[in-house]
C-alpha cells in the first residue's frame, strides 16, 4: 500500500469535523495536514481523530484564527513550530514520520492570505505575506540516503498562468500578482523543492484547489485557483505515485472553500 499525505485548509476544524471524518473514512490517508484550524490547542478535537484511528496528533493553534495541525495513523514527532516575521500566529508545524525505511520531515504551512490590496506600502497584510514568503527561503528540502522532506499546505499563491481561471484578469488580484508569483518561485527554487502537483501535469492544463464562497454556483463558473501545494525533496520524486484533488469535497455539506489534495508515495 502506498504512503499517503493529505493537505486541506479546513476553515475551522471544529465547525467542519463531519466532513473531516468523511475524508478520513472514505480515503484514509496515512497523514492529514490541516490549515486554518481556528482553535486553541487545548480545545483541539483530539477524541474525534483518535476514534477514527488517528492516534498521533500535533497542533499549533490559536483562538479564532489561523492554526495548523497534523494527524497520523503512525507515530509522528514534532520537530518545530516556527515563528515567522516575529509574529505568533500559528502558521507552521513540522514533524517527522517514518515511511519505507525513510524519515520524512513534513512541513505543514498556512501562508498569510495578504488582504485585498496588492500594495505593501498601504496594505500591511500584503507586506506581511511578502515578508513571510521571503523567510520561507530558509526552509530547505533536506534529504540524504535515509531521509527526505515534504512541504504541504495552503500557500495562498497560485504561481502559474493556468493555476488560475484567468491569468489576465487576476494579475492585479492578491494570490496571483507578479511580485507574489516571482518571489514564490524563487523561494521554491532556493529550497530545492519539487512541485509534485505539476510534475506530470502540463503547465497549460488548468489546476485548481480553491473556489470562492462568493460564487453563486462555484461548479458552473469554475473560477478556481491552485492555492494548495505539495512539494518534496528531489530524492522522493522516484517514489511519488501521483495525487488526487478531491474536487467533489467543495460540494459537501458546509464545505471549506478549499478541497483536500492527497499525495501518494511508494514508500511502504
Are the C-beta atoms of residues 105 and 96 closer than 8 Å to each other?
yes
Q: Is 183 annotated as a binding residue?
A: no
Q: Which of 76, 75, 74, 235 is nearest to 148 (CA)?
A: 235
Give the three-state DSSP class for 120. Answer: coil
Tell whether residue 36 is among the known ligand binding residues. yes
Ligand-binding site membership of 268 (annotated): no
Question: How, if at all, do strands 31-35 and 3-9 pair?
Answer: parallel
Give the active site residues: 110, 154, 258
Label residues 83-115 b or e (16+ Cβ within 10 Å = b): ebeeeebbbbbbbebbbeebebbbbbbbbbbbb
Residue 165's Cβ-count burial label (10 Å; 0-12, 13-18, 19+) is middle
What would the grid cell of residue 32 be? 492529514
Is 27 annotated for ligand binding?
no
Residue 143 assigned to a binding site: no
How do the residues of the chain divide into helix, strand and coil, expressed in percent and rounded to 5? 25, 30, 45
The response to whether 131 counts as a known ligand-binding position is no
Per the annotation, where are the binding residues for Mg(2+)? 9, 36, 154, 156, 257-258
Per the annotation, where are the binding residues? 9, 36, 154, 156, 257-258
Amino acid at each position: 500500500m502506498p504512503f499517503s499525505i493529505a493537505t486541506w485548509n479546513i476553515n475551522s476544524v471544529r465547525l467542519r469535523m463531519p466532513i473531516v471524518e468523511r475524508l478520513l473514512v472514505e480515503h484514509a490517508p496515512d497523514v492529514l495536514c490541516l490549515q486554518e484550524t481556528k482553535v486553541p490547542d487545548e480545545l483541539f478535537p483530539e477524541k474525534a481523530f483518535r476514534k477514527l484511528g488517528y492516534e498521533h496528533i500535533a497542533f499549533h493553534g490559536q483562538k479564532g484564527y489561523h492554526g495548523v495541525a497534523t494527524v497520523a495513523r503512525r507515530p509522528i514527532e514534532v520537530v518545530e513550530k516556527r515563528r515567522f516575521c516575529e509574529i505568533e500566529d500559528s502558521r507552521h508545524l513540522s514533524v517527522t514520520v517514518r515511511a519505507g525505511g525513510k524519515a520524512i520531515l513534513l512541513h505543514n504551512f498556512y501562508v498569510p492570505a495578504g488582504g485585498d490590496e496588492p500594495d505593501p506600502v498601504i496594505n500591511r497584510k500584503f507586506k506581511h505575506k511578502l515578508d513571510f514568503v521571503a523567510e520561507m527561503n530558509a526552509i530547505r528540502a533536506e534529504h540524504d540516503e535515509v531521509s527526505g522532506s515534504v512541504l504541504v499546505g495552503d500557500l495562498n499563491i497560485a504561481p502559474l498562468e493556468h493555476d488560475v481561471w484567468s491569468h489576465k484578469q487576476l494579475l492585479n488580484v492578491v494570490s496571483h500578482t507578479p511580485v507574489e508569483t516571482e518571489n514564490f518561485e524563487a523561494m521554491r527554487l532556493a529550497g530545492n523543492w519539487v512541485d509534485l502537483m505539476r510534475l506530470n501535469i502540463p503547465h497549460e492544463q488548468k489546476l485548481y484547489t480553491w473556489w470562492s464562497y462568493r460564487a453563486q454556483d462555484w461548479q458552473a463558473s469554475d473560477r478556481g485557483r491552485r492555492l494548495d501545494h505539495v512539494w518534496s525533496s528531489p530524492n522522493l520524486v522516484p517514489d511519488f505515485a501521483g495525487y488526487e484533488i478531491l474536487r467533489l469535497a467543495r460540494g459537501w455539506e458546509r464545505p471549506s472553500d478549499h478541497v483536500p489534495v492527497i499525495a501518494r508515495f511508494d514508500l511502504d
